[in-house]
């Protein structure tokens, strides 16, 4: 390990490893070796994301395929315990939230500020890059963001889904007075609702079939929450400026697009089927802008500020906590416990 300083880190660590779809095992693996620009973080908390569950159950997301053992987990935070040769040693002991990606920094996308689209990017838990369901993880020093003492470890880890919500609202160009429709009241949908309100949206309607999720969405800032299965129309009233799909459900995507006014925007965030039928003629005739979200860029400073200032409460998302020995249970909690919002691994 090429570190300038350290807090006596071991050479091996415990990690939850996806050995094949449907099977995770706790193994002793090598602690990551740092390059000169990296820091080693002792992981304190890791959020469980839908992508982790997809990889666990299906072994792939789109063209990202698990071909060899993989450590999942990318919503992470902890304390710096070692630094590379070019990183100031005084960063040791810092509590940080991890932006879990390593772009090349020299391609056209990186140089234009779209480093999330870098074709050489290394992202935690995206095969073959290992993630953070482990005792330690390495990250580029400038992607380890200090967090204030009053921000909890769990909230520091959940800066990642908050960053997805920030990137979504930026892409959707949410502005003061906007009417926003969101399909799906999981963690991302709820955080999009919260951030949309911070951006000044006047009406935020969330659609979800689960009663507790609808209630949680209203508590988080939605002005109305509806059950898409009840016949109550989410689209009652004027058409929306923005539709965000955080569900991945084809029917929700189709209905949401039809609810967008001419010149409005649609942002697809949720993971679902690879292919979905779309109302193309309506999109053309209304000149609706339709796009997706692939992670984020330059969102952590805003995310940390929103949480540190009290504008966003990430701790309230956490409903379940597990150790490394129970990662499989954590990965399945979203589908087995109807009251689950967000599970967190505490290594």
Q: Are 26 and 12 in contact (CB under 8 A)?
A: no
Predicted model pTM = 0.94
Note the pLDDT tens digit of each residue in 162-189: 999 999 999 999 999 999 999 999 999 9
CA dihedral 315, 82, 66, 63 (to 10 degrees): 80
Backbone angles phi, psi at 53, to 5 degrees: -65, -40
> Which residue did the predictor score with more confidence, 335 or 244?
244
Q: Is 176 helix (H, G, I), strand (E, B) or coil?
A: coil
Q: What are the boundaries of each domain within the chain?
A: 3-158+314-345, 165-292
* 206 has pLDDT over 80: yes
Q: Is the peptide bond before 128 cis (omega within 30 degrees of 0)?
A: yes
Would you tell me the crossing angle of helices 187-198 and 211-220 to the nearest 10 degrees? 20
pLDDT band at 339 (very low <50, low <70, confident <90, very high): confident
pLDDT at 171 (0 to 100) = 97
HEC assignment per residue over 223-241: CEEECCCCCCCCCCCCCEE
Looking up tokens 């002991």, which residue turns up?
93
Mean pLDDT confidence for 291-318: 97
CATH topology of domain 3-158+314-345: Quinone Oxidoreductase; Chain A, domain 1 (3.90.180)
Mean pLDDT confidence for 242-247: 97
CATH topology of domain 165-292: Rossmann fold (3.40.50)
Mean pLDDT confidence for 45-50: 95
pLDDT at 4 (0 to 100) = 46
Q: Is 48 helix (H, G, I), strand (E, B) or coil?
A: coil
């Amino acid at each position: 390990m090429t570190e300038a300083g350290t807090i006596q880190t071991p050479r091996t660590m415990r990690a939850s490893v996806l050995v094949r779809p449907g099977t995770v095992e706790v193994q002793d693996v090598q602690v990551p070796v740092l390059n000169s620009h990296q820091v080693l973080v002792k992981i304190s908390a890791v959020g469980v994301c839908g992508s982790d569950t997809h990889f666990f159950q299906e072994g792939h997301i789109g063209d990202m395929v698990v071909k060899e053992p993989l450590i999942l987990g990318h919503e992470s935070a902890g304390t710096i315990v070692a630094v590379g040769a070019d990183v100031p040693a005084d960063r040791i002991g810092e509590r940080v939230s991890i932006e879990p990606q390593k772009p090349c920094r020299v391609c056209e996308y990186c140089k234009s500020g779209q480093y999330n689209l870098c074709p050489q990017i290394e992202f935690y838990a995206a095969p073959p890059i290992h993630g953070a369901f482990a005792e330690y993880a390495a990250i580029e020093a400038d992607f380890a963001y200090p967090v204030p003492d009053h921000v909890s470890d769990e909230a520091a880890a959940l800066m990642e889904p908050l960053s997805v919500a920030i990137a979504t609202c930026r892409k959707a160009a949410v502005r003061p007075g906007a009417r926003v429709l969101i399909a799906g009241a999981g963690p991302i949908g709820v955080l999009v609702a919260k951030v949309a309100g911070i951006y000044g949206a006047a009406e935020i309607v969330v659609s979800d079939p689960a009663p507790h999720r609808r209630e949680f969405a209203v508590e988080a800032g939605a002005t109305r929450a509806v059950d898409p299965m009840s016949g109550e129309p989410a689209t009652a009233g004027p058409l929306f400026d923005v539709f965000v799909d955080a569900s991945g459900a084809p029917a929700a995507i189709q209905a949401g697009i039809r609810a967008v006014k001419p010149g409005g925007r649609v942002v697809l965030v949720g993971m679902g089927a690879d292919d979905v039928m779309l109302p193309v003629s309506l999109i053309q005739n209304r000149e609706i802008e339709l796009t997706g979200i692939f992670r984020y860029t330059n969102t952590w400073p805003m995310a940390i500020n929103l949480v540190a200032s009290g504008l966003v409460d990430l701790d309230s998302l956490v409903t379940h906590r597990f150790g490394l020995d129970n990662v499989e249970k954590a990965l399945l909690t979203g589908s087995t416990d109807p009251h689950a919002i967000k599970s967190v691994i505490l290594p």
